[in-house]
Amino acid sequence: MRRLFPRLCDPLCGLEFALQKLQESKRAEIFALSEVQSLSGAPGNFEAVLRRRPRYVLEERCRACGECAGACPVSIPPAGKQHGADNHNRKAIHPAEPMAFPSAFVVDRRFCPPDCRKCADICPVQAVNLDEQPGEMTIKAGAVLVTTGWDGYALEKVEEYGYGLYPNVVSNLEMEAIAENPSDLKEVGFIQCAGSRDERHLAYCSTVCCSATLKQILHLKEIRPDAKCYIFYQDIRTPGLDEELYQKVKALDQVLFIRGNPSTVKPGENGKLWVRAEDTFSGTEISLDLDLLVLAGGMVPSGGTQEIGALFKLTRTPNGFFEAHLPCHPEESQKTGIRVGGSCRGPMGVAASIESSHRAAMDILPFVAETIRIEPAYPELNLTKCDKCKRCIEECPYSSYAFDPNGFPALDLTKCRQCGNCMGICPLSAISMRNLTIAQLAD
């Protein structure tokens, strides 16, 4: 992401400000290159095991002077598939990408020649440690906030548009970099819902793709006013204040909205793409020679969402995002003390993701206090009625029950949501909600 509407500002600016405040806080620790290996405990007393990958550069010493990169003999390709302004090589020792945080350089040892230590030899502060090994550490926490984000849909699967086959077919994320330096672009096509709202791929709408395309066109036209832009769409969806963005782009010269996705995309003459489509409004066939074709792909759960979901045993929706009670408690997972924020809950834009994560962060504050408040309406078990059938243990949606030494169900009050499910499913009516017993309900 390069520009945020409506100011078209650099999103890294806001990140730098937020990270600076975190660095200055005595109550925040940031562990880069780290992954959660396990999580145990209960709300107010979680214990997480982290695995830290080696950076090979000491964060507390590195001044990011760049002398090590100058001495490095190896150039490596940029991370991921990049275009335009980002299409440059880097050295095996380089700043972190896409944002240099922390400022210390990092070494990609996969590309280092055997026995090469030029970066370590030239470093003026002896910050390079090429013998660093992976490590593990354990931290304690009162609560867990999961913000694992999203990934772009694999557009190679939408075979009819040639992504991955033709170099001038790119994703909307790649267009972010291209739009910064579009010097040779005269005619650009944009296909909306590429793989979205399609039972073969993603059945849902990702809510932000139309707005992202319109923003890119607006930025492109500011740099190249003579560029011609063609938007192939099923429906233009710009909810809320993004309608203003749609009206701005619609009023621009040489911007054409074509209702209907292309039926043919194939290489044309002089390195261009030949695209054919039917405008379902006018019923006319349109044939274009484009310099670039941009696919607006949808949002899918990130790899991190899948990993953390399995590790923490968090329930996910059929589409793979974390499940939550959207009408009332959208930030709550089905594990007490664990909150989910941002687009790991579902497709959303940057502003909505920030708001969601802020709400989730505020919601976990009670779990990081010295004491946890328990509402006096929790379930109580009548041991004289219980026959140890295990049904409450197996069917509690929050894993609040476990066996005690005598084989009876024991309730962990910090995990219990007081939903009453256990009272309803107990075949012997051995469980009652405190201050709301079965006898009271019967009366």
Distances (CA, A) of 384 to 369, 372, 381, 400, 412: 36, 30, 9, 21, 20
CATH number of residue 402's parent domain: 3.30.70.20
Reported as a single tens digit per residue, the pLDDT across 349-380 is 988 999 999 999 999 998 888 788 888 889 99
* Structural domain contains residue 69: no
Same domain, 259 and 391: no
Distances (CA, A) of 26 to 29, 167, 183, 261: 8, 48, 47, 54
Q: Which of 272, 299, 326 is a domain's end point?
A: 299
In angstroms, rounded to a whole number, what is the distance separating the alpha carbons of residues 398 and 409? 14
* Structural domain contains residue 66: no
Tokens of 262: 């292309």
Where in the sequence is the domain holding 384, given as residue range(s)?
Answer: 379-442
Same domain, 158 and 277: yes
Quote the pLDDT of residue 346: 95
CB 105 within 8 A of CB 57: yes
CATH number of residue 224's parent domain: 3.50.50.60
* Structural domain contains residue 235: yes
Same domain, 177 and 292: yes
Same domain, 266 and 173: yes
Q: What residues are paired with 50 via a beta bridge?
A: 36, 137
Provide the residue count of the chain. 443
- How much is the pTM? 0.85
Q: Which residues 6+ apart lie within 8 Å of 323 measured at CB?
A: 314, 315, 316, 317, 333, 334
Same domain, 290 and 389: no
* Structural domain contains residue 208: yes
Reported as a single tens digit per residue, the pLDDT across 125-155 is 999 999 999 999 999 999 999 999 999 999 9
Q: Which of 299, 323, 347 is a domain's end point?
A: 299
Q: Which residues 6+ apart lie within 8 Å of 189 measured at CB?
A: 229, 230, 231, 232, 262, 273, 275, 288, 290, 292, 293, 294
**Is residue 35 over pLDDT 90?**
yes
Q: Which of 299, 330, 348 is a domain's end point?
A: 299
CB atoms within 10 A of CB 109: 12
Q: What is the mean pLDDT of the chain?
A: 91
Quote the pLDDT of residue 85: 42
Peptide bond into 318 cis (omega under 30): no
Least confident of 76-80, 257-261, 282-286, 398-402: 76-80
Res. 1 pLDDT band, cuts 50 70 90: low
Which one, of 181, 397, 185, 183, lies nearest residue 294 by Cα? 185
**Is residue 189 over pLDDT 80?**
yes
360 burial type by CB count under 10 A (0-12 exposed, 13-18 middle, 19+ buried): buried
Quote the pLDDT of residue 179: 87
**Is residue 196 over pLDDT 60?**
yes
* Structural domain contains residue 162: yes
Counting the structural domains of the chain, the total is 2
61 burial type by CB count under 10 A (0-12 exposed, 13-18 middle, 19+ buried): middle
* Structural domain contains residue 295: yes
CB 48 within 8 A of CB 83: no
* Structural domain contains residue 80: no
Tokens of 374: 């328990």
Helix (H) or strand (E) holding 107, with range, is strand 106-107
> Is beta strand 169-171 parallel, antiparallel or unpaired with respect to 187-194?
unpaired
* Structural domain contains residue 383: yes
Which one, of 255, 299, 274, 237, lies nearest residue 161 by Cα? 274
